Amino acid sequence: MRKEIEKYEKYLLPSIKSRRFYKEKPLMLTNGEGAILKDIKGNEYIDLFSMNYIMFLGYKHPEILETIKRQVDKLIFSVYEFHTEPQLKLAEKLAKITPSNLRMSYFLNSGSEAVECALMISRQYTKKYEIISLYGSYHGKTTYGARSATGWSKAKRYIGPMLSGFIKIPWYYCYRCIFKMEYPECDLLCAKILEDALKYQGDGSVAAFIVEPILGSAGNIPPPKEYFIEINKILNSNDILFIDDEITAGLGRTGRMFAIEHYNVKPDIMTIGKTLGGGLPISATIVDEKIGESLDSFDYYVTYGGNPLACSVANVVVDLIWNNKLYKRAEKLGNYFIQGLKELSERYPLIGDVRGCGLMIGVELVKDVRTKKPAQEESLYILEKAREKGLILPAGRGWFKNVIRINPPVVITEEQIDKALNIIEELMREACRRFYR
Ligand SMILES: Cc1ncc(COP(=O)(O)O)c(C=O)c1O
């Protein structure tokens, strides 16, 4: 194992090392089934991470494996220049199930590419160029547009300058409200401030507002209920497009097929990815038909985009979620999990906040419930100890590195959630004993 780690560090860029969950003793995985992962030594873990939201349908899903085998036997690859059945079927399916008039798709490989495509479409369609996004939002790192929209200053360090024309407004993070206000007395200032941004920043050429319907990387933070209604009013009265970035939240995870369906508003452009490929790289930018029909001269190309292998798997992923209403399962299991975590929060002062939507849950750890000082050291302790107890628990995440971002596969069982809750309780007890004496 030591040899493998040394080779990893010799042959892969150091950014791999800084990303790994377990810094000293990295976990080498060999196998996965359902919501269970296995390491090289045969140890088993309940997975609450889903490989950064990707494995919503779990590991080794029989229909996904079967589809891959079948498609590989037929046609493994083709480019946009040729038509294929899997691509057409997928586009038609998405047109039927996505909300509002989202009808025309373009398939890409990653979330960043889908976001980049959405940004370019919004500029080309509106002939305007400014883009507004939120503090703490995450829209990707692979391309400069996605990175410029991302609201993390760290993501921009040493590789700037970012693109011009990107404006940020405060996020909807109620537990740590930037205005130090309480909902609902705040009267949704974090949404209404968009009007000020239009008035005082930029030059009146705003093409689009891009937003996550639940902030994922910042710590699985849902917005206040009426947030999007308020935002939408401002966008409509200023002719600004609404880009709904559902790369993490889309396709069932939050308890609806698409997370924006919680809020009764209609996006003009939507991006999806992660869950879509069931582990294969594919993403999509889906646009309102009136925008799509006007994009004759839109030139966006990525060689792997829309290939038949990824599209055939995506078809099965969408069918499995839609036909089996797996979003309802996500809602039910999510409520069950959140309930268990809320009960723990009453017993353990380390837990400052439990929030979430379906199987996209954030547990915020704090040193003191009054000061809300982020419990970063405690989070790292919990991350490591959870592994010893057979749980992949993504602790130490979010903006302040103190959130457990719980996003298990939807195939997780209630028994596995109970087991996970028991382990989390043990961890809370041990951490409180260790850090709160
Ligand atoms: C909301 C959102 N948009 C875009 C992206 C970028 O996706 P990718 O890493 O596939 O480029 C992410 C990745 O986590 C994301 O959470």
Q: Which residue has the tokens 């930018």?
A: 285
Q: Which two structure tokens, joined as six digits, stand for 53? A: 């939201």
Do you know the residue count of the chain? 437
Phi then psi for residue 273, to 5 deg, are -170, -140
pLDDT confidence bin for 253, thresholds 50/70/90: very high
Cα of 111 to ligand 1 centre, how many Å? 4
Residue 437, pLDDT above cutoff 70: no
**115 CB less than 6 Å from ligand 1?**
yes
pLDDT confidence bin for 436, thresholds 50/70/90: confident
Q: Which of 139, 272, 276, 283 to mutate to test the pocket of ligand 1 (most atoms within 8 A of CB)?
A: 139
Residue 341, pLDDT above cutoff 90: yes
**142 CB less than 6 Å from ligand 1?**
yes
Specify the pLDDT at position 100. Answer: 87
Specify the pLDDT at position 107. Answer: 98
Cα of 139 to ligand 1 centre, how many Å? 5
**109 CB less than 6 Å from ligand 1?**
no
- For 184, other C-beta atoms within 10 Å of its C-beta total 10
**Which residue owns the Cα nearest ligand 1 atom 8?**
111
pLDDT confidence bin for 187, thresholds 50/70/90: very high
Average pLDDT over residues 38-53: 97
pLDDT confidence bin for 278, thresholds 50/70/90: very high
**110 CB less than 6 Å from ligand 1?**
yes
Specify the pLDDT at position 51. Answer: 98
CA 274 – CA 310 distance, rounded (Å): 12
**216 CB less than 6 Å from ligand 1?**
yes
How many angstroms separate the Cα of 236 from the Cα of each of 114, 230, 268? 23, 10, 11
Specify the pLDDT at position 3. Answer: 86
Residue 374, pLDDT above cutoff 80: yes
Hey, is 104 helix, strand or coil? strand
Hey, is 39 helix, strand or coil? strand
Q: What are the structural domains, with CATH classification, of the chain? A: 2-60+325-435 (3.90.1150.10), 75-323 (3.40.640.10)
Mean pLDDT of the residues in the chain: 96
Strand ranges of the sheet holding 391-392, from the earlier edge strand across to the other edge:
29-33, 36-39, 44-47, 391-392
Q: Which atom of ligand 1 is nearest to the CA of 113?
A: 11
pLDDT in tens, 98-142: 998 999 999 999 999 999 999 999 999 999 999 999 999 999 999
- For 385, other C-beta atoms within 10 Å of its C-beta total 18
Average pLDDT over residues 378-402: 97
Specify the pLDDT at position 355. Answer: 98
Average pLDDT over residues 243-265: 98
CA 117 – CA 300 distance, rounded (Å): 7
**232 CB less than 6 Å from ligand 1?**
no
Cα of 140 to ligand 1 centre, how many Å? 5
**111 CB less than 6 Å from ligand 1?**
yes
- For 62, other C-beta atoms within 10 Å of its C-beta total 7
Percentage with pLDDT > 90 across the chain:
93
